[in-house]
Amino acid sequence: MKKWIITGTVLTVVISLTVIFRGDGDRKKGGEDLPVAVAQRGDLVIDVLEGGNIQALNFLEFRNEVKLPNGIKILEIIEEGYYVTEEDVAKGKVLVRLDQSELEEEIVDHDVEFQQTDALYAEAKQNIEIQESEALSEIKAARQALRFALLDFQKFVGAGAAQETLKKLGLPFDNDSLASYEKEATDLIVKAFDAQKSSGADEENDDSNVASFALVANDSLAANVNFGTFLKEDVLGDGEAEQTIRRMRDEALLASSELSVVEESVEGAKRLHQREFITKQTLENELVGLDKARLALQRSETELELFRDYEFPKEAEKMLSLYEEALLSLIRTKREKLALMSQIYAKYRTVKRRYELELKKRENLEEQLASCVIRASQVGLVAYGGANTDYYTSRYYEGISSGATLKVGQPIITIPDMSKLGVEVKIHESHIKKIELGQKVYITAESVPDKILNGRIAKVAVLPDSNASRYNPSLKVYPATVEIEGTHEFLKPGMSAKVEVIVDELENVTYVPVQSVFVENGEHFVFRKTLTGYERRTVEIGAHNNDFIELRDGLEEGEQVYLKMPDDYEPAQVDKARVARRPRPATVDAKADSTASTEKPRPRSDKNA
């Protein structure tokens, strides 16, 4: 019996010594009073826990659209929580009635100004029609005068001579060339006006765009034409000048014939007087007739010479000058009327713009007046304020009640669509990379904790919430919307809820509480509990949630670790060069390095339930 006792004692001592000296880390005493946890083996759910409020994803929100400087009062408002039925919608039940007296006075004052603007607008439209008609009439008259001037020149010198002369001068010589000339001139005028509008140049100081068609010169082109050669070279056409020359030639020829007859008559009278058959007085009368015949011939020849040398060149140059002036007059008329119509159009656009603004203001006032009465248009519960909870807590807005004054844009009532609810949460920036659209989500309403609902991530903001960072600049959270699957009568908008986003589901892994893992010199380790104290054990970590962290190497299932760093542990001196050379370990959330956890662990078995 004593032999068995001795043998057992020896084995106990050997086992104790083996346990004491086993392990790859430093063994130290202490840590008897520290909390411990056991490394577990099993399935681990990697999730993100956030809190939020249940809201209707679709809702009908009515805001104050009346823009009065001092706001508008509520005369009547339906009680909060009233359920709008289909019958209420069919009858157009009044939900809110606002005081519209001040708005009606503003509409009356605006009507007077609007009527004046309307009259100016009608006058401007009428003035455009009048000025356009007058401008077209004057341009038509100038175009007609131009054609008549061309016909007069052709009539005087003949069509052939006129055409040859105008071609040499580079001027229009028939109706087709006149039309082409007018079109080119009009295009250049419009181009010149467009250039002046774009550059803001003064029309009086910029004539460069007009010189190509305005025939600007110190002398008339007609002054450079030698019309005397027309007679010498016999190029004058069958025109009015040629007819005049022919008539004068005929008159001179007739005067010459008459002179010959009178001379013979005088010779006969002289012979008769010598024989005393006629008196001296009769002879003198014959001599006077001879003088008249000579004067008539001289006058005819002089008139012909004067017409050929002076009158014809003068009249031809005059008619060509009139034609040139008619060309300039047409262009000048077009330019003047274009400038005038530009002013008329500019005035019309100004009046029209003012009319449109006043009309829009009038329509806006009428819309505001119509918004003073809010009628039922959707079935659902009536809630005061807006769908955004920030409106309820904002001090900028006065509470919704009968007699309260509303500001512009203030939400009055909201009718949520209870068939599609969701949770508005704010994801911390440390978790935002884990969140993706369509991820599975578990929702638990705090008022009904025994009900776990399914959902999915429906929307994630690209930028952080500016309102959250306004009060705490270091806080960066991203608004996200979780859509709840199905309909649940016990859910109400405004309820607080917990949202658990399932990031990953690990199977058959070793894990420990996150507060049992520490970091030193870029190395993760735990304090494993031993029979005589503790042992510092280096571990390789994996994924983690708020409660547990995966250990890929360094610890076995069933081993115990401390949840707090022992008081007598002294950290090793940091070797900065060694830390810089060491490969960067897997990223761990800041919560994995903390020494305490406020969240209650949720085993996998509870989630499956």
To which residue do tokens 């009249």 refer? 315
Better-predicted residue by pLDDT, 118 or 9 = 118
- Over residues 559-582, the pLDDT tens digits come to 999 998 888 888 765 454 444 444
Q: Which residue has the tokens 């090793």?
A: 572
Stretch 240-260: mean pLDDT = 85
Residue 471 vs residue 152, higher pLDDT: 152
Which has the higher per-residue pLDDT, 593 or 286? 286
Give residue 299's pLDDT band: very low, low, confident or very high (50, 70, 90). confident
User: Mean pLDDT, to the nearest integer, of 353-375?
Assistant: 92
Across the range 346-369, mean pLDDT stands at 91
Residue 50 burial by CB count (10 A; 0-12/13-18/19+): exposed, middle or buried?
Answer: buried
Six token digits for residue 445: 């309403």
pLDDT confidence tier of residue 214, bands split at 50, 70 and 90:
very low
Q: Is the pLDDT of residue 600 over 70?
A: no
The mean per-residue pLDDT over the stretch 418-440 comes to 85
Beta strands in 168-282 (DSSP E): none
Most confident segment among 426-430, 517-521, 590-594: 517-521
**H-state helical runs in 371-418:** 390-393
State the pLDDT confidence band at 491, using cuts at 50, 70 and 90: confident
Segment (H or E) for 155: helix 101-157
CATH fold of 23-58+417-609: Elongation Factor Tu (Ef-tu); domain 3 (2.40.30)
Q: In what helix (H) or strand (E) does residue 210 lie, and over which residues does it extend? A: none
- Asked which of 84-93, 175-184, 231-240, 349-358 is least confident by mean pLDDT, the reply is 231-240
Instruction: Check residues 261 and 192 and name the one with the higher pLDDT.
Output: 261
Token output for 299: 């006058």
Residue written as token pair 């805001």: 63
Mean per-residue pLDDT for 445-453? 88
pLDDT for res 367: 92
- Give CA torsion, residues 255, 259, 261, 265, to 10 deg: 150
Give pLDDT, residue 586.
Answer: 42
**Nearest by Cα to 511 from 549, 562, 481, 483:** 549
Mean pLDDT value of segment 169-180: 85
pLDDT of residue 241 exceeding 70, the answer is: yes
pLDDT > 70? residue 141: yes
Instruction: Identify the band that residue 353 occupies on the pLDDT scale cut at 50, 70 and 90.
Output: very high
For residues 447 and 99, the answer to whether their CB atoms sit within 8 Å is no
| Average confidence (pLDDT) over 153-159 | 83
What is the percent of the chain with per-residue pLDDT over 90, rounded to a whole number? 18
Crossing angle of helices 159-169 and 101-157, in 10° steps, is 120
HEC string of 318-333 equals: HHHHHHHHHHHHHHHH
- Between CA 480 and CA 434 the distance in angstroms is 13
* Mean pLDDT value across residues 506-532: 90
Residue 9 pLDDT: 42
CA distance 596 to 340: 86
- Amino acid at the residue 299: R
pTM of the predicted model as reported, rounded to 2 decimal places: 0.51
Domain borders along the chain are 23-58+417-609, 59-93+376-416, 115-222+229-360
200 — pLDDT class (breaks 50, 70, 90): low
Residue of 32 and 475 predicted with greater confidence: 475
What confidence category does residue 212 fall into, taking pLDDT thresholds of 50, 70 and 90?
very low
When mean pLDDT is compared across 177-181, 443-447, 583-587, the lowest value belongs to 583-587
Q: 3-state DSSP call for residue 357?
A: helix
Per-residue confidence (pLDDT) for residue 526, from 0 to 100: 93
> Which pLDDT band, with edges at 50, 70 and 90, does 326 fall under?
confident
3-class secondary-structure state, position 559: coil
Residue type, 190: V
Per-residue pLDDT at 510 = 93
The pLDDT, as a whole number, for residue 233 is 64
Residue 478 CA to residue 135 CA, distance in Å, equals 67
